[in-house]
């Protein structure tokens, strides 16, 4: 996205489940162009981090790292956040 760091391209090293979710919300009437990305990254201690990035498309976003003890916990958290974002009007980048 316009020179931004793409953590989804680097996600990997975990199970065959999707390790990355990219969403966007565009509403020209409200001058809204937002993105939301999540990726799963293994940590050094055997856990899995859920890395979240969000912001305005074309601008530097904010990051937050959630630490989880297992891949299943991280995936559940990622799916819960994805569901909440889709309810707010976010759609997959490939839609």
pLDDT in tens, 29-59: 999 999 999 999 999 999 999 999 999 999 9
Structural domains of the chain in order of their starting residue, each with its CATH number: 7-92 (2.20.140)
Contact 48, 73 (CB under 8 A): yes
pLDDT at residue 33, rounded to an integer: 97
Q: Strand, coil or helix: what is 91?
A: strand
Q: Which residue has the higher pLDDT, 4 or 15?
A: 15
pLDDT in tens, 5-22: 555 655 555 555 568 999
* DSSP secondary structure letter of residue 37: E
- 82: its two tokens: 């994805």
- Compute the distance between CA of residue 5 and CA of residue 32 in angstroms, rounded to an integer: 21
**Cβ-proximal residues to 39 (8 Å cutoff; 6+ apart), any chain:** 7, 8, 10, 11, 19, 20, 21, 50, 51
């Amino acid at each position: 996205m316009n020179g931004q760091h793409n953590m989804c391209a680097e996600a990997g090293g975990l199970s065959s489940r999707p390790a990355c979710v990219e969403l966007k919300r565009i509403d020209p009437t409200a001058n809204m162009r937002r993105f939301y990305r999540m990726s799963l990254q293994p940590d050094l201690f055997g856990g899995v981090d859920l890395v979240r990035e969000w912001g305005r498309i074309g601008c530097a976003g904010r990051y937050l790292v959630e630490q989880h003890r297992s891949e299943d916990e991280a995936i559940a958290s990622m799916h819960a956040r994805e569901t909440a974002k889709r309810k707010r009007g976010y759609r997959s980048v490939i839609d």
